[in-house]
Every structure is written in C-alpha cells, then in structure tokens.
Amino acid sequence: MSAEQGIFAVAGGICVVSAANAVLRRDALTSALSLTVTLFSLAVLYLGLGAPYLAGVQVAVYAGAIMVLLVFVIMLLGAGRVAPPRVGRPALTGVAVLLATALFAVLVSAIARGGLASSIRDEPVAAPDHVAALGALIFGRYLVAFEVTSVLLLAALIAAVVMARKRASGQEWPA
Amino acid sequence: MARLMPTQAYLYLGALLFALGALGVVLRTNALAMLVSVELMLNAVNLTFVAAAREFGDLDGQVIAFFVIAVAAAEVVVGLAIVIDVARRRPSTDVDEVSELRG
C-alpha cells in the first residue's frame, strides 16, 4: 500500500464520517465543527493529490477564516435560537433522503461510464516547481478572473456591513 | 515512481460528499445548517476539480478550486449577514419562518 492509498483511506474515511455528522446533527455548533474536521481532511487529501498550495489555502482560508466566521455567528446568536426545539417533518425527510440517493446514483453512474482509468497506475508525482507554475497560471491566463474575484470580495464586504449593521427602529433601507 | 490512487476513487468520494450536502440543504430548516451543507457541496466539487487536475496533468483544475474557495468566502459573508439580519426580527434562524418577501 502506497502513501497516497493510506492517505486516501484515512482522510477519506474521516471526511465521510464528519460530513455525515455535520449534515445530520441538530446542534448548529456541532455541525460547524464537524465541517471543520471535513475541511481539514480534504486538505490532507489535496496533499495526497499533489496540491500542497491548495491544501494550505484550504486550511488558512476555509478551515481558518470562513469557519471562524461561521462559529462566531452561531455563538453570537446563541445556541438556543440557532437550534429551535422543533419536530422534524417525517414525510419531507423521506423525500429528502430519496432525492439525495437518486442524485448520488446519477453521479456514480456518470463517473462509472466516464471512461477514466479505474485501475491503480504507476505515475510520477507532481513537479517540484508546482507552486510557481500555479502562480504563473493565476496571474497569466486567469488574471482577469483574479481581479474580478477581488471586486466580488469587496462587494461582499460592503454588502455585509450594510446588511448586518444595527438600524434604528422603523428606519428603512438607505435610499 | 509512486503508486497512485485511481482518479475515480476521488470522484466517488466527491459524489458522496455532494449528495450528503444536497441532503442537508433539503432536510435542514436551520439557515446556518443549510450554509454548512452548501459549504460541503462546494468542497465536494473542489475535490473533483483537484482530482481532475491530476488526471489530465495540468493545473487548471487547481486554479478553479482556488477561485471556488474565494467565491465561497464571499458567499458565506453575505449569507451570514442575512442570517444576522433575520435573527434580529425573528425568534430563530429557521428558514420556514421567513416566507414573505417584505421584512
């Protein structure tokens, strides 16, 4: 068993279990922390796939910044308000499980007919100058997309400040 | 030379995570839990992109995954701002309580 197979078995297993925990647990804080475990195990999978830069971004931006924001809001609103004591809707639960199973079946059949090699192959791993090549690609062919992303982030920042700030009672949206 | 996992294994894992995330979006009524599920779906797609990047031997898939992470950050920021605004007016963050367009 190679290093990557071991990584896939361990990180993939943790990934699936924590993802199921994140989706199915009632407590929003448990969901968020389980998702953080999923994000970390995905970063380990990226390492196994020869994408160390993306693994770093995943830990710093996703498991770091985004999840801190999510946990912060859950704490801010209070666990009681976030997870109201309400009875589930059994009929809708059945429909949801059916839909998700059907989606998974469609995806699996598409992958199985996709024509990708299903056997374990021998191949050299990623080139050592991979981060430099990634940077050249981002600031070369994808430069416009990169700049548009920065504008999008700025717009999201302004939108969050406008929407989440405290308004005086009765005050409507700014004209 | 290293023995590599087949790309299909990663695609199946990504499909499973995507279906789990979709289940969460449909099943949960808590806005924050739905956000968590959407993040799970985005990450499933990212895993597929990175696996495809290795399969085809170029870095474009990794660049796309990088952009997906940036857009996900913007999505979470706006989504959480909406959740906070709703939570100020309603007793909980249950999406079923927010069924009309006017505040």
- List pLDDT tens digits, range A51-110: 899 999 999 999 889 999 999 998 888 765 655 555 556 677 888 899 999 999 999 999
Go through B15-41 and write b for each residue having 16 or more CB atoms within 10 A of its CB, e for each that does not. Answer: bbbbbbbbbbbbbbbbbbbbbbbbbbb
pTM value? Answer: 0.88
Is residue B53's pLDDT more than 70? Answer: yes
Mutation site, B59, B60, B75, B92, interface A, largest A CB count within 10 A: B59
Q: What is the mean pLDDT of chain B?
A: 87
Q: What is the pLDDT averaged over residues A20-39? A: 92
Note whether A55 and A46 are within 8 A (CB): yes
Whether residue A172 has pLDDT greater than 60: no
pLDDT in tens, B31-50: 888 999 999 999 999 999 99
Write down the H helix ranges in chain A: 3-24, 28-48, 52-57, 67-77, 79-82, 90-112, 130-138, 143-164
Q: Residue B37: closest CA among chain A residues belongs to which residue?
A: A23
Distance of alpha carbon B7 from alpha carbon A19, whole angstroms: 21
- This complex has an ipTM of 0.89
Using an 8 Å CB-CB cutoff, list chain B residues near A93: 27
**What tokens does A153 get?**
């982030």
A28-48 and A67-77 are packed helices; what angle lies between their axes, rounded to 10 degrees?
A: 180
As a whole-number percent, the residues of chain B with pLDDT over 70 amount to 94
What single letter denotes the amino acid at residue B83? V
Residue B25 structure tokens: 């979006």
CA distance B65 to B43: 9
Is A132 an 8 Å CB contact of chain B?
no
Looking at the predicted structure, is the pLDDT value of residue A150 above 60? yes
B10 interfacial to chain A (CB closer than 8 Å):
yes
